[in-house]
């Protein structure tokens, strides 16, 4: 089989790249190791920046997001028993949309299928070949049979544990890594929203986040031991922790409901450079990871492939490689700012077991500063909505 761009991974990065290329008349094939049902039901991100919303809407896959997603003009920071609103819209003129990642995936899969795009699900043993020549190829198994795709480019959109990053030439590589000593325990709850906007809470017992998915389903997280297991937590224990960490003296109470999904995720910051070598390009989690505080991961995946699609378009339409050559530089500018912001939000809001009393007080003072200073609140809001 031959195509112009072989894409490994049908996450937000791979599917959107395939869609954006199609809009420019460029062919691709997407190879995905999981089934369609699995990718369309895995619960992950929920917050779309304005820029992400614009890219989805302008490329014709924003209909359901606009109808079913919830536009949020602010969020709250809770600490010391009180809640403080960060007015995103007033501070930046922008907003965010809460719309689940797997709904974005469904919309992109539907768009690719409607356009006759090829997504091969359930592939095995994907291997990349000759990536440093002009004739790269990918081999894999599909329905138990060996197959091969010859392409002009390979896009590694296969997430943190994929095969693309390890296939990069090792010479000149730099990896930056930080693993945090805590994780997030995530739950999905059948209940109405407890509050009109997201609440990021800092408490001595640890961080907690009250988010939402729909008028009847809520998403919540709390800081936990990264090695903890979902089955160690009864519903009663979860609610006791969520109440303790989010409620203050103003009478506001978290609304409980039936918990129908529990999971624990580890947290790390990671950047692997360069994001390209020869005809192999990395995008999204394959190249970088942020801790979820600040909700940047999926948004970075979207901005990477937006750059990459423009570079590939220039290659085919103008016969020029200038934008492709600049891809790492262009993408990394955004990546490092988001790495900084996610690290900052994580450091400001989580409990560190080894923090001294001094460090704990300074952490609290930092939050006081953010809500007291319009300049600091604006910086936080600009980063959150992705204003640059």
Q: Which of 180, 221, 327, 384 is catalytic?
A: 384
Asked if residue 245 binds ligand DHB (CB under 6 A), the reply is no
Set 200, 221, 274, 350: catalytic member: 200
Q: Which residue has the tokens 């204003």?
A: 387
Q: The sheet that has 258-273: what strands, in order across it? A: 82-86, 75-79, 199-201, 208-212, 217-224, 174-190, 258-273, 288-289
Residue 219: contacted member of ligand DHB, ligand FAD, none (CB under 5 to 8 Å, by partner type): ligand DHB
CB of 342 to ligand DHB, least distance (A): 9
- Catalytic residue list contains 180: no
Residues from 279 through 298 that contact ligand DHB (CB under 6 A): 292-295
Report the distance separating Cα 222 and Cα 261, nearest Å: 14
CB nearer to ligand FAD: pick between 91 and 126: 126
Q: Are 66 and 57 in contact (CB under 8 A)?
A: yes
Active site residue 72: yes
- What tokens does 268 get? 């790390």
Residue 147 CB, shortest distance to ligand FAD, in Å, is 13
- 47 is an interface residue for ligand DHB by CB under 6 A: yes
Yes or no: say if 10 and 121 are a contact pair by the CB < 8 Å rule.
Answer: yes
Q: In the complex with ligand DHB, which residue's Cβ is closer, 28 or 293?
A: 293
Known catalytic residue: 384? yes
The interface with ligand DHB within residues 98-117 (CB under 6 A) comprises none
Let me know if 111 is exposed, middle or buried by CB neighbors in 10 A (0-12, 13-18, 19+). buried
Distance between CA atoms of residues 332 and 288, nearest Å: 9
List the catalytic residue out of 99, 274, 292, 327: 292
Q: Which listed option, ligand DHB, ligand FAD, none, makes contact with residue 293 (CB within 5 to 8 Å by class)?
A: ligand DHB
Minimal distance, residue 140 CB to ligand FAD, in Å: 7
CB 95 within 8 A of CB 386: no
Q: H or E stretch including 238?
A: helix 235-246
Identify the residue among 12, 14, 46, 257 touching ligand DHB (CB under 6 A). 46
Residue 183 · residue 37 · CB < 8 Å? no
Q: Of 219 and 279, which CB lies nearer to ligand DHB in the complex structure? A: 219
CA 315 to chain centre: 28
Q: Closest Cα to residue 341, out of 298, 386, 374? A: 386
Structure tokens at 62: 């924003």
* Tokens standing for residue 349: 């809001």
| Number of residues lying near ligand DHB (CB under 6 A) | 11
Rounded to whole angstroms, how far apart are CA atoms 198 and 189?
15
* CA–CA separation, 78 and 85 (whole Å): 9
Greatest C-alpha distance within the chain = 65
Q: Which does 277 bind (CB under 5 to 8 A by kind): ligand DHB, ligand FAD, none?
A: none
- CB count, 10 Å around CB of 350? 20
Of 302 and 377, nearer to ligand FAD (C-beta) is 302
Binding residues for ligand FAD, per CB under 6 A? 8-14, 31-34, 39, 44-47, 101, 123, 126, 157-159, 162-163, 184, 186, 265, 284-285, 292, 295-299, 301
- Which residue lies nearer to ligand FAD by CB, 39 or 109? 39
Q: Using CB under 6 A as the criterion, what x/- string covers residues 185-224 for binding ligand DHB?
A: -------------x----------x-x-------x-----
| Residue placing its CB nearer to ligand FAD in the complex, 105 or 364 | 105
**CA 23, CA 309: separation in Å to the nearest integer?**
10
- 327-349 helix and 357-372 helix, angle to the nearest 10 degrees: 110
Contacted by 117, from ligand FAD, ligand DHB, none: CB < 5 to 8 Å by type? none
Look at residue 11 and give the partner it binds from ligand FAD, ligand DHB, none, a contact being a CB closer than 5 to 8 Å depending on partner kind.
Answer: ligand FAD
Joined tokens for residue 348:
């400001």
- Which partner, ligand FAD, ligand DHB, none, binds residue 163 by CB below 5 to 8 Å per kind? ligand FAD
Q: Which does 162 bind (CB under 5 to 8 A by kind): ligand FAD, ligand DHB, none?
A: ligand FAD
Q: What token pair was written down for 36?
A: 């369609």
Closest CB to ligand DHB among residues 94, 112: 94
Active-site residue list: 72, 200, 292, 296, 384
Interaction site with ligand DHB (CB under 6 A) = 45-47, 198, 209, 211, 219, 292-295
């Amino acid at each position: 089989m031959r195509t112009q761009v072989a894409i490994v991974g049908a996450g937000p990065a791979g599917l959107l790249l395939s869609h954006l290329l199609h809009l420019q008349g460029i062919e691709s094939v997407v190879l995905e190791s999981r089934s369609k049902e699995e990718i369309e039901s895995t619960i992950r991100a929920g917050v779309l920046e304005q820029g992400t919303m614009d890219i989805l809407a302008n490329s014709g896959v924003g209909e359901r997001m606009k109808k079913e997603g919830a536009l949020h003009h602010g969020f709250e920071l809770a600490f010391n028993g009180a809640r403080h609103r960060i007015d995103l819209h007033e501070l930046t003129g922008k907003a965010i949309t809460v719309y689940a990642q797997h709904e974005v995936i469904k919309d992109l899969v539907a768009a690719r299928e409607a356009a006759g795009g090829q997504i091969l699900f359930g592939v095995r043993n994907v291997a990349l070949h000759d990536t440093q020549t002009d004739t790269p190829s990918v081999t894999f198994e599909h329905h138990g049979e060996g197959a091969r795709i010859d392409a002009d480019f390979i896009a590694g959109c296969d997430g943190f544990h994929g095969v693309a990053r390890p296939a990069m030439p090792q010479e000149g590589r730099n990896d930056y890594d930080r693993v945090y000593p805590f994780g997030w325990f995530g739950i999905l709850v059948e209940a109405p929203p407890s509050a009109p906007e997201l609440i990021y809470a800092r408490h001595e017992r640890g961080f907690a986040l009250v988010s939402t998915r729909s008028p009847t389903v809520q998403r919540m997280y709390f800081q936990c031991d990264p090695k903890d297991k979902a089955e160690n937590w009864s519903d009663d224990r979860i609610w006791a922790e969520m109440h303790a960490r989010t409620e203050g003296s103003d009478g506001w109470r978290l609304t409980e409901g039936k918990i129908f999904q529990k999971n624990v995720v580890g947290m790390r910051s990671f950047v692997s450079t360069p994001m390209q070598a020869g005809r192999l390009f990395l995008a999204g989690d394959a190249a970088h990871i942020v801790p979820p505080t600040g909700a940047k991961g999926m948004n970075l995946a979207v901005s990477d492939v937006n750059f990459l699609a423009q570079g590939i378009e220039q290659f085919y339409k103008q016969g020029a490689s200038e934008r492709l050559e600049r891809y790492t530089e262009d993408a990394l500018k955004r990546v490092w700012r988001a790495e900084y912001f996610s690290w900052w939000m994580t450091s400001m809001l989580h409990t560190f077991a080894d923090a001294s009393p001094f460090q704990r007080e300074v952490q609290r003072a930092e939050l006081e500063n953010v809500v007291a200073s319009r300049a600091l609140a604006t910086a936080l809001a600009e980063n959150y909505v992705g204003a640059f």
